[in-house]
Chain A
Amino acid sequence: MTRSIPLAQRRIGVVIQLLSYPLVYFLAVLAGLWPSIAGLLGLAALAGSSVYLYKGTGLWQFGNAPDDQLDERQMQIRNQAYRYAYMGVSALIVVSMLFLLVSEELKWRITIGYDQINLLFWTVWTIVMTLPSSILAWTEPEV
């Protein structure tokens, strides 16, 4: 790592990064923009927050590097992050399935159109893609 971000600031960065896509999308749609433009703005926000969080800190490489580029401690921490990410995504899927089951039983009216599915897909995809590195950014102590 060549650039270091204090832990508290890093954690704020992780929250912003994980929420950037749905938040910007939602705000842009509320502001009356087309969903496709809102989606692009959301992706731009995600890219911007990811660049801030990972550029030069080495955390992105740390989360995605093959084993032979990591030392024993880094591998141990990276594997732990993958385990937490796997657990997190599994929990997300279970909660979503339970929600759908319950909403069906309780006859909640949920209208899901293309825009909602699109938002859901990109939100989940961006979380899944960045989760291991986000966990590392959240947990790694300061140097």
Chain B
Amino acid sequence: MKGEKIYNRIAVLREERGLSRKDLADKVGVNFQTIGYLERGEYNPSLDLAMDLSDIFGLSIDMVFSRQPMRPLSEELANLKNKPS
């Protein structure tokens, strides 16, 4: 069963934290090539792996993964800031 495409910010978040694909792969216990496939959107992760990756980045799962193409994080943060509380 092929699911809908899931977009993610893994590449940006990984680069920001100065991690190589191998470093990130070791942290979540997958092959480094799997990180490459995830970053290019060629593989949709399991919920377990998605949660592990979100934990590593210290963000909620919806900040890392989305069914819609991802907007820049700065734009999203600005939107959150402008939202009436």
Name A residues whose Cβ lies closer than 8 Å to a Cβ of B: 1, 70-74, 141, 143
Residues in chain A near residue B36, CB distance under 8 A: 143
B57 located at the interface, meaning its Cβ lies under 8 Å from any Cβ of chain A in the complex: no
A71/B37 in contact, CB under 8 A: no
Chain A binding surface SS class: loop
Cα A74 to Cα B46 in complex, Å, equals 12
Q: What are the 6 tightest A-B residue pairs by CB atom distance, in nearest-first order?
A: A71-B30, A73-B34, A73-B43, A71-B31, A72-B46, A71-B34
Expressed in whole angstroms, the minimum distance between the Cβ of A47 and any Cβ of chain B is 27
B42 located at the interface, meaning its Cβ lies under 8 Å from any Cβ of chain A in the complex: yes
B49 located at the interface, meaning its Cβ lies under 8 Å from any Cβ of chain A in the complex: yes
Cα A1 to Cα B36 in complex, Å, equals 13
Apart from A71-B29, A71-B34, A72-B49, what are 14 other A-B pairs with CB-CB below 8 Å? A70-B31, A71-B31, A72-B34, A72-B45, A72-B48, A73-B30, A73-B31, A73-B37, A73-B43, A74-B31, A74-B34, A141-B37, A143-B33, A143-B36
Residue in chain A with minimal CB distance to B43: A73
Cα A73 to Cα B43 in complex, Å, equals 7
Cα A72 to Cα B45 in complex, Å, equals 8
Residues in chain B near residue A74, CB distance under 8 A: 31, 34
Which among A1, A71, A74, A143 has the highest number of chain B CB atoms within 10 Å? Answer: A71
Residues in chain B near residue A1, CB distance under 8 A: 33
B31/A141 in contact, CB under 8 A: no
Residues in chain A near residue B42, CB distance under 8 A: 141
Cα A143 to Cα B31 in complex, Å, equals 12
Which among A70, A72, A74 has the highest number of chain B CB atoms within 10 Å? Answer: A72
